[in-house]
Amino acid sequence: MRRNPTWSAGLRVRRFFWLLLLFLCVALAVLFAAMNPGAIDLDLGFFATRVQKSLALTLAFAAGWTFGLLCLSAVLLRVFLERRRLRKALRLAEAEVHVLRSQPAPHAD
């Protein structure tokens, strides 16, 4: 079986794009760390430490991103379950319509 050359080229472009995006994110993180020198005290109630400003902000960003993904997955799961329920109801309605159409029509006198 031969590969589609267009698909393969598209895949290479997509991979290049993602690698370029990853490199850009790493470069921005390094630049951010260089522009924000210094450390801050971080007290979480049960744990206190001193961390770099850039690391604290990066971790806060990552925690927010992770929380957003969790919320999105909950919404998508709810939509998926609703879609499945509606498909089942549609199948039942189509079956009922098929049964009703197969019955002889009553005479309208």
pLDDT in tens, 93-103: 999 999 988 88
Count CB atoms within 10 A of the CB of residue 75: 10
DSSP-assigned letter for residue 33: H
Domain boundaries, the chain: 53-103
Q: What is the pTM of this model?
A: 0.59
Q: Using CB atoms within 10 Å of the CB of residue 78, give its burial: 0 to 12 exposed, 13 to 18 middle, 19+ buried.
A: exposed
- Element counts in the chain: helices (H) and strands (E): 2, 2
Q: 11 pLDDT exceeds 80?
A: yes
Q: Is 29 helix (H, G, I), strand (E, B) or coil?
A: helix
Rounded distance between C-alpha atoms, residue 69 and residue 54, angstroms: 22
Q: What is the pLDDT of residue 5?
A: 61
Q: What is the pLDDT of residue 79?
A: 97
pLDDT digits (tens, 9 = 90+) for 29-88: 888 888 888 899 988 889 899 998 888 888 888 899 999 999 999 999 999 999 999 999
Split at pLDDT 50, 70, 90, the class of 108 is: low
